[in-house]
Amino acid sequence: MKRIDHAEASSKFIRAKDHVEFHDRRLWDLRQKRDRESEHLAEWEELRSLASAIKEHTLANLAGYLEEFERNAIKNGAHVHWARDAAEHNQVVFDILSSHGVGTLVKSKSMLTDECDMRPFLEQRGIEVMETDLGERIQQLDDEPPSHIVVPAVHKLKTDVARVFAGTIGTDPKNSDIHYLAESQRQHTRPYFLRAEAGMTGANFAVAETGSVVVCTNEGNADLSVNLPKLYIASIGIEKIIPRIEHLGVFVRMLSRSALGSPITQLTSHFRAPRDGTEMHIVLVDNGRAERLGMADFWYSLKCIRCGACMNTCPVYRRSGGLSYGATYSGPIGVIIDPTFNLRKYSMLPFASTLNGSCTSVCPVKINIHEQIYKWRQVISERNQLPMVKKEAMQIAGKVLASPKLYRAAVGTAGTGLEHLPRFMLYNRLNAWGRQREVPEAPQFTFREWYLKNRVKKRAKP
């Protein structure tokens, strides 16, 4: 299994000057909007603590809350299914759709369905799947995964969208007016809402005390997907459970403020029971979440409410783009989740970070993201997944720096020039440092040499 090379992918992203500049500016703007919202709420930090505490309590009692959710959902007339992994999820969804004779499925954005790679599974079995969120639709038509969990096509400029639409839904290739493009997607998608036999959503939250599925959108596409067809399927990761309706006050107040810097999404929908004459099916999905719950250093990552604030603030993500991470989940949250899906494949991701900690500071549920990134580096080293070059460099560094004599020999100045710079500091990749930066000059003396000369009294030789 080939390792995802984030550095290599990022260098391609950075070479596209207009794209990287826009991407960085756009997401920094979302980060600043978040800041303005957080500054307006005196209780902001208290809300973060509450949100974190609710999630930690729930995860520590997850089995009980899942059972309560299931009981209430069934009482409401919904069907509840359980899927151990992605393959089972896809099969369950297909079985529900095919047993109801569904030919067309309309769906709103769900990272879980992307994680399970559901769409190709259904399409290969003859079910037409229409992504109704504009950003997800762009990516579907371009055969690319979403690059950001809230704004899936943020890495694209309008000219890219014009090109994609022209080649697929027949818009004018020369017209990249954003209103024209958005209206074209609305008009093209609308007939699908009307004729779809089934609709599907994910869930931002699932409330145990009522069996409600809560979906937050701006486009209204989740409501259209559910309120028109006679069959509704909700795919929900088991970590999305929260105990009570009143807890939504905390989470809904934080979600859109963190994600987009707006007080609430345009639509906040609560699906508790099916309409008369229709069916509601809920699929509760594990796919590695229970296992992650048992990881003492990493289970806090399950608190995630998928707001994307960590991506918006991450200086590395903004300059490399979500697709550089090679996974459904990118940015800081991706870095701490992806190694649980495949340690070797994602072993370089925890090093795509400066450990600056901004992600942890914006996380509405106080996930200690940068601390988990640090811990993942230890796991990767212990499980022998470090590249050989790095592993050897660290072994050498570890020996040199543990010995005052070896250290002084490495650091002592025998002159200036690149060849005299301590190898352990630049790890044989000198050319990497020097590609876009000047290399520091070696000084005339080390501090220690100066100290010996200027502060330590010289003893006369006997």
Partner 1 sequence: MTVGLFIPCYVDAFFPEVGIATLELLERFGIDVAYPLDQTCCGQPMANSGCHDDAAATERLFVKNFAEFDHVVGPSGSCVHHIREHLTAIAQTPQVKKVRATTYELVEFLHDVVKVQDFPWAEFRHTVGLHNGCSTLRGLREAKTSEINEPDFSKPMDLLSKVKGIQFAKPERPDECCGFGGTFSVYEEPVSARMGYDKVKDHHRAGAEYIVSADMSCMMHQRGCAERLGLPIKFIHIAQVLNGARE
Partner 2 sequence: MNSRDEILTRIRKAQPASRPLPEIPTFDRGSSTSIETFKAALLRMGGRFVDAPTDGNLDAQIRGLFPDAKVICSAVPEVKGNRPIERVRTPQELADVDVGIVRALFGVAETGSLWLSEAQFKIDAIGFLVQHLVVLLDPDAIVANLHQAYRHEGFFTARYAVFMTGPSATADIEGVLIHGAQGIRTMTVIPARL
Show contacts with partner 1 in window 377-436 (CB under 8 A): 377-382, 386, 390-391, 394-395, 397-399, 401-404, 407, 411, 422, 424-427, 429, 432-433, 435-436
Cβ neighbour number for residue 404 with a 10 Å cutoff: 9
DSSP secondary-structure letter at 82? E
From the list partner 1, partner 2, none, pick the one residue 344 interacts with, judged by a Cβ distance below 5 to 8 Å according to partner type. none
Using CB under 8 A as the binding rule, the residues of this chain from 50 to 109 that contact partner 2 are 50, 53-54, 56-57, 59-63, 66-67, 76, 81-84, 88
From the list partner 1, partner 2, none, pick the one residue 378 interacts with, judged by a Cβ distance below 5 to 8 Å according to partner type. partner 1
Contact (Cβ atoms closer than 8 angstroms) between residue 111 and residue 306 = yes
End-to-end Cα spacing for the chain:
67
CB of 19 to partner 1, least distance (A): 13
Q: Which of 156, 240, 306, 370 is close enough to bind partner 2 by CB under 8 A?
A: 156
Is residue 82 involved in binding partner 1 (CB under 8 A)? no
Is residue 451 involved in binding partner 1 (CB under 8 A)? yes
Q: Which of 153, 233, 314, 380 is close enough to bind partner 2 by CB under 8 A?
A: 153
By C-alpha distance, which of 21, 36, 10 is closest to 260? 36
Is residue 362 involved in binding partner 1 (CB under 8 A)? yes
Is residue 340 involved in binding partner 2 (CB under 8 A)? no
Nearer to partner 1, 14 or 245 (CB): 14
Residue type (1 letter), 437: R
Strand pairing report for 198-201 and 212-217: unpaired
Helix pair angle (44-60, 247-259), 10° resolution: 120
Per-residue contact track with partner 2, 157 to 196, x per CB under 8 A?
Answer: xx--x----------------xx-xxx--x--xx--xx--
SS3 content of the chain, % helix, strand, coil (to 5): 55, 10, 35
Q: What DSSP letter does each residue of 395-423 carry, written as one string?
A: HHHHHHTT-HHHHHHHHS-SSSSGGGS-H
Is residue 238 involved in binding partner 2 (CB under 8 A)? yes
Name the segment binding partner 1 (CB under 8 A); options: 146-154, 234-242, 259-267, 369-377. Answer: 369-377
- Tell me which H or E stretch contains 261: none
Q: Which of 100, 272, 344, 377 is close enough to bind partner 2 by CB under 8 A?
A: 272
From the list partner 2, partner 1, none, pick the one residue 286 interacts with, judged by a Cβ distance below 5 to 8 Å according to partner type. partner 2
Q: Which of 23, 27, 30, 38 is close enough to bind partner 1 by CB under 8 A?
A: 38
- Tell me which H or E stretch contains 36: helix 17-40
- Tell me which H or E stretch contains 241: strand 241-242
Is residue 247 involved in binding partner 2 (CB under 8 A)? yes
Q: Provide CB contacts within 8 A for 422, sequence distance 6+.
A: 410, 411
Name the segment binding partner 1 (CB under 8 A); options: 62-70, 122-130, 228-236, 443-451. Answer: 443-451
Residue type (1 letter), 401: L
Is residue 147 involved in binding partner 2 (CB under 8 A)? no
Structure tokens at 263: 């007080």
Contact (Cβ atoms closer than 8 angstroms) between residue 113 and residue 90 = no
From the list partner 1, partner 2, none, pick the one residue 239 interacts with, judged by a Cβ distance below 5 to 8 Å according to partner type. none
Structure tokens at 411: 């650091």
Using CB under 8 A as the binding rule, the residues of this chain from 208 to 227 that contact partner 2 are 210, 212, 218-221, 223-224, 226-227
CB of 60 to partner 2, least distance (A): 5
The Cα 69–Cα 296 span in angstroms is 26
Is residue 345 involved in binding partner 2 (CB under 8 A)? no
Structure tokens at 235: 């795919």
From the list partner 2, partner 1, none, pick the one residue 420 interacts with, judged by a Cβ distance below 5 to 8 Å according to partner type. none
